[in-house]
């Protein structure tokens, strides 16, 4: 069972306060070009079936409750993967009056995938890292104490395209402030 879960993590996608950039990139992960399903990753609509929750976007006053609720509906053991800089720190929107901050303010996050938005390859790495943590949690689930490891997945190197390599987008720097 442990082995099976790590090889076929079911993923529920929660859009909190995202600008859509990470959402469409996450959906692109599931489509033929990146094909997350070759790793057994299945995207499903309901949190009650899910092992991994993918959070995009920062948390605001209205969706904090929704996020918490969805997290609680997931069966244990469960893993939360935060996609992009917004669920990590609030990203470019951190100054907003309605933004509480990253997803960690509401739910425990296991894997952070930085980027605005992260490349689909980095997102896949993040989900697979989450699957490993999930397998570990399942092994330890006999003991009451949950094991939490926080690991930051660096985005994969850009494709060997000179135009892509030359583009160090300025906005990313601004967000880091």
For binding to other proteins (CB under 8 A), which residues are involved? 14-25, 27-28, 31-33, 44-47, 57-58, 60-63, 66, 70, 89-90, 92-99, 101, 116-117, 119, 159, 161, 163-171, 174
Residue 81 makes CB contacts below 8 A (sequence gap 6+) with: 52, 53, 54, 55, 109, 110, 111, 113, 126, 127, 129, 130
Pick 44 or 152: Cβ nearer other proteins? 44
Pick 108 or 158: Cβ nearer other proteins? 158
Q: How far is the CB of 13 from other proteins (least distance, A)?
A: 8
Q: By C-alpha distance, which of 155, 144, 77 is closest to 110?
A: 77
Pick 106 or 133: Cβ nearer other proteins? 106
Q: Is 120 left (phi over 0), alpha (psi -120 to 50) or beta?
A: alpha
Q: How far is the CB of 92 from other proteins (least distance, A)?
A: 6
């Amino acid at each position: 069972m442990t082995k099976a879960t790590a090889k076929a993590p079911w993923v529920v996608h929660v859009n909190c306060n995202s600008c859509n950039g990470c959402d469409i990139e996450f959906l692109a992960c599931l489509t033929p070009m990146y094909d997350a399903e070759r790793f057994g990753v299945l995207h499903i609509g309901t949190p009650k079936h899910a092992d991994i929750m993918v959070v995009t976007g920062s948390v605001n006053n209205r969706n904090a409750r929704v996020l918490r609720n969805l997290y609680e509906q997931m069966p244990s053991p469960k893993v939360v993967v935060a996609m992009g800089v917004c669920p990590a720190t609030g990203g470019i929107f951190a100054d907003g009056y309605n933004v509480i901050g990253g997803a960690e303010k509401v739910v425990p996050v296991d894997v952070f995938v930085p980027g605005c938005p992260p490349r689909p390859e980095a997102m896949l790495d993040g989900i697979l890292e989450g699957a490993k943590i999930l397998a570990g949690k399942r092994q330890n689930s006999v003991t009451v104490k949950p094991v939490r490891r926080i690991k930051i997945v660096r985005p994969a190197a850009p494709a060997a395209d000179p135009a892509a390599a030359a583009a160090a987008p300025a906005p990313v720097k601004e967000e880091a402030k």
